[in-house]
Amino acid sequence: MSEQKLLLPILIVPDPLLRKVCRAVTPDDMKRVKTLIPQMFATMYKAPGIGLAAPQVGALLRLVVIDLAPEKVPTPIALINPEVIAKSEDKATREEGCLSLPDQYADVTRPSWVRVRYQDEEGHKHEIEGDGLLAACLQHEIDHLNGVLFVDYLSSLKRNMLLRRLAKDQKERKAR
């Protein structure tokens, strides 16, 4: 399959699908999920990004893909039905962005460490834990599965400024 056929359109805020809670992936979904995973990775790498959740490409399934090393050694991981099962009380603040809010960034405070349980494509259960960028990315992508965006962690003033700037940028892009 050519790269063009793999690429999926990324939904942009305020698309209502981005605010929906995704349903769990069931065994009946696995054929679709196994097709979706390479499409999501191709779309994420092309964007470029380090994480992508299924609702961002219009699939309301609990599925995320992550690769924190797209320019160095690729370390792709697909997480089916991921859930945070432990998190630190310590918080960390780092700048976040999102492929569904292109060119918009803000500091977000989250737990500095998380442990996530998920399934792989074969249905085997795994756990991954991480701090730093990995912890933020895992939480950010799992938030998408619950209809939550990083801007929801901002004050209403900052959130509204960022969303207005995004709307203006999108309008200018369409005008070109």
The pLDDT of 105-110, averaged and rounded, is 98
User: What is the chain's mean pLDDT, rounded?
Assistant: 95
Which CATH number covers residue 12?
3.90.45.10
Q: Model's pTM, two decimal places?
A: 0.95
- C-alpha torsion sign, points 106, 154, 160, 82: positive
pLDDT of 162 above 90: yes
Reported as a single tens digit per residue, the pLDDT across 1-54 is: 555 678 999 999 999 999 999 999 999 999 999 999 999 999 999 999 999 999
Confidence (pLDDT) at 21: 98
Confidence (pLDDT) at 2: 57
* 129 a catalytic residue: no
Reported as a single tens digit per residue, the pLDDT across 79-97 is: 999 999 999 999 999 999 9
Confidence (pLDDT) at 173: 87
- Single out the catalytic residue among 96, 121, 141, 172: 141
The pLDDT of 137-152, averaged and rounded, is 98
Give the DSSP letter string of the chain: --HHHH--PPP-TT-GGGGSPPBPP-GGGHHHHHHHHHHHHHHHHHTT-SEEEGGGGT--BSEEEE-S-SSSS---EEEEEEEEEEE-S-EEEEEEEETTEEEEEEEEEEESEEEEEEE-TTS-EEEEEEEHHHHHHHHHHHHHHTT--GGGGS-HHHHHHHHHHHHHHHHHHHH-
Confidence (pLDDT) at 33: 98
Confidence (pLDDT) at 112: 98
Confidence (pLDDT) at 5: 76
Q: Report the number of distinct structural domains present in the chain.
A: 1
Provide the domain limits for residue 25.
Answer: 3-175
Reported as a single tens digit per residue, the pLDDT across 46-65 is: 999 999 999 999 999 999 99
